Structure 1
Amino acid sequence: MDPLALVLVTAGIASAACWILSLLTRDTSWVDRAWSLVPVAYVWIFAIAGLAKGVDAARLVLMALLVTAWGARLTFNFARKGGYTGMEDYRWAILRGRMRPWQFQLFNLLFIVAYQMALLVLITLPANVALQHPAPLTGWDVVFAALFLALLVGETIADQQQWAFHQRKKRAGGTLAPGFATTGLFRYSRHPNFFFEQSQWWAFYALGATAAVASGAGFLGGALNASILGAFLLSILFIGSTIFTESITASKYPAYADYRRTTSMLVPWPPRTRPVAEPAA
């Protein structure tokens, strides 16, 4: 079977499973549980196809290893927060309360499942570009792979800092001023983990584009090709999700307004003034 067709079939099965499970369990976080898993499978499908064809698949294997590292880190972080124990994302519960039952079920089918699962296919399509344009590794591959790993390390640090804050908050009885993390990377970005997460997929896109350029494609169709849609839509999703998440946080913590005024939303940047102080552990 054509590898892209196999990816689409796999995505269809995974999507159906997530939707059916959400109906049976009244838990709409099944896509969240698949988020760190299915892209790894998709990229390895493309990589194995390249190896089976006998073409130069070094770039594809590199891309698959990078996404495997991404998936392992994200799976670990999601698991330690209880993501695989039946805990639903609190944002879905809030949205459910704002909609009529039929409206939320339509939202669940079309956005939570269909759109997001389609997006998880789109972000992996640079690997298909690399499969279609086999070429030896170049110096740019080293640059973009190193960038991917640096962003992965950044997200790991941000998630650990956020985890440590919430653990201190838990030990303090659930209340720890100002109510949210403001130190470490969170001094420079309100959501550094979100920034690093989406940036990794731009680096991943660059690897696919490098393959196209190295095989002779020009700017259009090479450096700029259709697989950029995945990284672009992921960034749009993160911006929308961040705005919604912040509306919830701001309603819970009065100090968040000042933090939002002084600190960049996504891109790490020096704070405009001294941020809200966070007490020592």
Structure 2
Amino acid sequence: MDALLIVIIVAAVTSAACWVLSLITRDTSWVDRAWSIVPVVYVWIFVAGAFVNGEGSARVVVMGVLATAWGARLTFNFARKGGYTGMEDYRWAILRGRMRPWQFQIFNLLFIICYQMALLVLITLPAAVAAQNPSALTGWDALFIAAFVAFLVGETVADQQQWRFHQRKKEAGGTLAPGFATTGLFRYSRHPNFFFEQAQWWAFYAIGATAAVTGGAGVIGGVLNPTIVGPALLTVLFIGSTIFTESITASKYPAYADYRRTTSMLAPWPPRARAVATQS
């Protein structure tokens, strides 16, 4: 059976399970719990398919290893925050409160389940491209692999800094000025973990694109190939999610407005100088 077909079947079954569980438990975070797991499964299905078809390569194995490292790190971080203990993402609860029950259920099915689960397939498709274009690793592969690892380390550092802040906040009784992390990587980006998460999948896409180019494709079809839809839609998702998350944070912490004015939203960048009021 074709590897892509197997991935689609697994995704469909997982999506159905997440939807049914969300209805039974009234908890819409089932996709969140699958987020760091199913892409790893999909990538290794593509890896296995490549070797079954006699088209295995070091590149596709490396992509499997990179996806596994990404998934292991994200699963650990999600677990230590209580993600697998029945805790629902607070943003879904807020959205549920803003919608009528039937509206939220449509949103749950079409966006939370269908869109996000489809996206988790799309971001792994560069591995399918690599599987279809077996060739030796190149200098470009080395560059993009190194970039992926660097972004993985960056997200690990950002998540750890955020974790330590929230632990200190918890120890302080739930209040710790200014209410959100502003040091370390958070001095240069309001959401460095979000930035590095997206960047990893752009690097993953670049590895697949390298495979296509070494397989004879040009700029169109190689450098720019249909699997770019995955990281592009992931970026759209993160931007929308970030805007919504920040609207909640800004409503809770007055100091966030100033932080937002001086600090880049995603890409790490030196903070802007704070505006100084003129004296008359």
Query: 3-state DSSP class of the match of 1:227?
Result: helix
1:131 deviates by: 1.2
Which amino acid in structure 2 is aligned with residue 152 of structure 1?
Answer: L
State how far apart, in whole Å, the 1-side matches of 2:51 and 2:132 are.
Answer: 12
The answer for the alignment partner of 1:213 in structure 2 is 213
1:106-121 matched pairs, under 5 angstroms: 106-121=106-121
State how far apart, in whole Å, the 2-side matches of 1:133 and 1:236 are.
Answer: 28
TM-score w.r.t. the length of structure 2 is 0.97
The answer for the alignment partner of 1:2 in structure 2 is 2
The answer for the alignment partner of 1:238 in structure 2 is 238
State how far apart, in whole Å, the 2-side matches of 1:242 and 1:222 are.
Answer: 31
1:33-112 matched pairs, under 5 angstroms: 33-112=33-112
1:201 corresponds to 2:167 = no
The answer for the alignment partner of 2:278 in structure 1 is none
1:29 corresponds to 2:32 = no
The answer for the alignment partner of 2:170 in structure 1 is 170
> Is the Cα contact below 8 Å between 1:56 and 1:136 reproduced in 2?
no
- Deviations 1:210-249 (Å, cap 9, x if unpaired)? 0000011111001110000000000000000000000000
**Unaligned ranges ≥5, structure 1:** 276-281
> Is the Cα contact below 8 Å between 2:189 and 2:264 reproduced in 1?
yes
1:55 deviates by: 2.1
> Is the Cα contact below 8 Å between 1:189 and 1:265 reproduced in 2?
yes
1:14 corresponds to 2:14 = yes
> Is the Cα contact below 8 Å between 2:187 and 2:271 reproduced in 1?
yes
1:180 deviates by: 0.1
**Unaligned ranges ≥5, structure 2:** 276-280
1:56 deviates by: 3.9
The answer for the alignment partner of 1:139 in structure 2 is 139
1:274 deviates by: 6.0
State how far apart, in whole Å, the 2-side matches of 1:56 and 1:94 are.
Answer: 46
TM-score w.r.t. the length of structure 1 is 0.97
Which amino acid in structure 2 is aligned with residue 174 of structure 1?
Answer: G
1:227 corresponds to 2:223 = no
- State how many pairs are aligned: 275
